[in-house]
A = this chain, B = another copy of it.
């Protein structure tokens, strides 16, 4: 199961789609960091079908199976690991939307923020090492860029937590 497989599985789970419809998603939305080329989509879908995670295909929309739901659910519920790629973590977060328990999303954001902060600490440690002094200005600025975006990630997670928490309590009131 590659990142692309999970992206496809999650979209199919949202609603049944043909391979072409899936390609359109990658072409027209910010999910465009994933392939969209026929040479990657169609083989990936066949692998999902062979594994029994989706059914259909052959000009009909693919539909997620019970086994697919299980595999996808397990993947979704893992907390974010410190070394997990940010893109992948965000993909998982985006697909948490229809999970009945909002607390799962809130917990995920907490683990996301912690992972981002840990990365920032690692970069800062490098920036105070002896090696840092010998590194030319441009290279140091490039590392600074990594720190800035990592910190922006962490801040986003905290803000997103607040927004979600507020939305959840509002729902509770209705």
Contacts and interface: CB of A to CB of B under 8 A. Distances in A.
A152 interface: yes
Contacts of A51: none
Nearest to A131: B29
A138 B96 contact: yes
A146 interface: yes
Interface string A118-143: 00000100100001000011110111
The 8 A-B residue pairs whose C-beta atoms are closest, nearest first, are A97-B136, A152-B152, A97-B138, A94-B142, A94-B139, A141-B160, A90-B142, A149-B149
Interface of A: 29-30, 90-91, 93-98, 105, 123, 126, 131, 136-139, 141-146, 148-149, 151-153, 155-156, 160, 163-164, 167
A164 B137 contact: yes
A163 B167 CA distance: 42
A154 to B, nearest CB: 10
